[in-house]
Amino acid sequence: MLAPRILSRSALAITASVVCCVSPVVFGADWPQFLGPARNGTTVDTVRVPFAAQGPSRLWNHKIGQGFAGPVIADGKVVLFHRVGDEEVVEAFTLETGKPRWRHAYPTAYSDDFGFDEGPRGTPCVRGGRVVTFGAEGRLTCVSLVDGKQLWQVDTKAQFHADKGFFGPACSPLIEGALVLLNIGGKDGAGVAAFAIDTGKLAWKLTDDEAGYASPATIGDEGGHLALFFTRSGLVGVEPTAGKLRFEFPWRAKMHASVNAASPVVDGDLIFLTSSYGTGAVMLRLKPRGGGVEKVWSGDDSISAHYATPVKHGAFLYGFHGRQESGTRLRCIEWRSGKNRWETEMKAGTVAVAGDNLVLLAESGELTIAAATPDAFNPLARAQVLGSGTRAPFALSAGILVARDKAQIMALDLRP
């Protein structure tokens, strides 16, 4: 097992603030956005294994409202986005004690057509002392991380006339430089859009794509960074500062009742897309000098993810294959070929990598720590920690895992 590089907490905090939302290099400390410090589900922070049969120690827990938005961790605070009664609520707690720090709320009338859940789906993004959330009715809100004071709010549904879709907006915002990037599915060329982080003013809008349920990512090229949006229609590449469309790559199921929900996985010049409903996965290579993308391999027999984004570790990719409601399997595949190395039956959930271990939180509320190895599935510790319906992604900072189900949020002590 490789030993992680040891840094002071002050050095970690400085480094994490630099790489947040931008760099593929992964450091510990904060988990300030969807999929962690580098938006790829990976941290060099390690976790303790084994732990007691009843699970790791609980540091604190609170009753919460509706939603599938995952918690995030920044500057010693846990930020939670959920619905309580007729309000969407953003609030903060102290990471180690759970002490409430601040609370910001605004009205919502979102109604789920399927009676599923009426809370927000998008995980907050934190950078530069600002917290950005995207609610179930399409309200894009920015508040201060210090005290929760609202800095600005944009009603994207009213402004861009986006359709409700199946379950309302679910994109987790991405802060890239001075912009907030969103997959909103608006009309009149507002499929994807960028807003000024300081004011909320529209910076640019592009495409007529309907929104999927995936969240944007970035990839580096010779000109800087490209923003990648996995919409309902396929992949869109945009130069974020200029708002220039670089390429479009169609990738979606033929059936109407389908979504693209897993975010793009990026390493070097390669982009991995995965979807369910018979669509399967595709590996793309970003061409140099603005040449778009080319297909490396594709198929429906590698990882066809319903909603959870797979995570890359070394030369391998780990993720949930199959439809959530009809049974899933955790798989390890080769990154460059898509060849299946192993699989095991496991309920759908969230997967991340901490050090050299997989951290798996299933919808059933079961937590599993397993070795991230292509040789075989090797569970090292397992315990029931939350209730059923645990679909929100978790956050992991310095060995403290913060996760939620339908009724509560809790912090678990996995510090080595």
- Hey, how many other C-beta atoms are within 10 angstroms of the C-beta on 267? 15
Six-digit token pair at 256?
């109407």
Read off the pLDDT of residues 313-360 as tens digits, 9 standing for 90 and up. 999 999 999 988 888 999 999 999 999 999 999 999 999 999 999 999
The predicted structure's pLDDT at residue 22 = 40
Region 108-135 average pLDDT: 94
For residue 122, pLDDT over 90 is answered with: yes
Question: What does residue 196 show for φ and ψ, rounded to 5 degrees?
Answer: -65, 130
The confidence band for 291, taking pLDDT boundaries of 50, 70 and 90, is confident
For residue 106, pLDDT over 70 is answered with: yes
For residue 299, pLDDT over 90 is answered with: yes
Name the residue type at position 105.
Answer: A
Q: What is the mean pLDDT of the chain?
A: 91
Instruction: For 19-173, list the strands marked E by DSSP.
Output: 42-43, 57-63, 72-74, 77-84, 87-94, 100-107, 125-127, 130-134, 139-144, 150-155
The predicted structure's pLDDT at residue 327 = 84
Instruction: Parse the chain into domains and list their residue ranges.
Output: 9-413
pTM of the model: 0.91
DSSP 3-state percent helix, strand, coil across the chain (nearest 5): 5, 45, 50
The predicted structure's pLDDT at residue 99 = 98
The predicted structure's pLDDT at residue 167 = 77
* CA–CA separation, 399 and 49 (whole Å): 11
* CA–CA separation, 401 and 112 (whole Å): 30
The predicted structure's pLDDT at residue 381 = 97
The confidence band for 212, taking pLDDT boundaries of 50, 70 and 90, is confident
Q: Would you say 262 and 282 are in contact if contact means Cβ atoms under 8 Å apart?
A: no
The predicted structure's pLDDT at residue 21 = 41
Give the class (CATH, top level) of 9-413.
mainly beta
Q: What is the DSSP string of 230-249?
A: E-SSEEEEEETTTTEEEEEE
Q: Would you say 171 and 165 are in contact if contact means Cβ atoms under 8 Å apart?
A: no
CA distances from 275 to 75, 126, 167, 347 (A): 34, 27, 17, 17
The confidence band for 163, taking pLDDT boundaries of 50, 70 and 90, is confident
* CA–CA separation, 314 and 305 (whole Å): 20
For residue 6, pLDDT over 80 is answered with: no
Which residues, at least 6 apart from 317, have a Cβ–Cβ distance to it below 8 Å? Answer: 265, 272, 303, 310, 311, 332, 333, 334, 335
Query: Nearest CA to 407 among 352, 365, 373, 378?
Result: 365
Read off the pLDDT of residues 239-255 as tens digits, 9 standing for 90 and up. 999 999 999 999 988 88
CA distances from 238 to 102, 243, 252, 307 (A): 36, 6, 19, 23
- Hey, how many other C-beta atoms are within 10 angstroms of the C-beta on 283? 23
Six-digit token pair at 139?
């309200």
- Whether the CA torsion 102, 85, 118, 412 is positive or negative: it is positive
Region 382-408 average pLDDT: 96
With residue 366 as reference, give the H or E element that holds it.
strand 366-371
The predicted structure's pLDDT at residue 4 = 36
Region 198-202 average pLDDT: 98
Read off the pLDDT of residues 34-58 as tens digits, 9 standing for 90 and up. 999 999 999 999 999 999 888 999 9
- Whether the CA torsion 87, 90, 94, 96 is positive or negative: it is positive
pLDDT > 90 in the chain, percent = 81
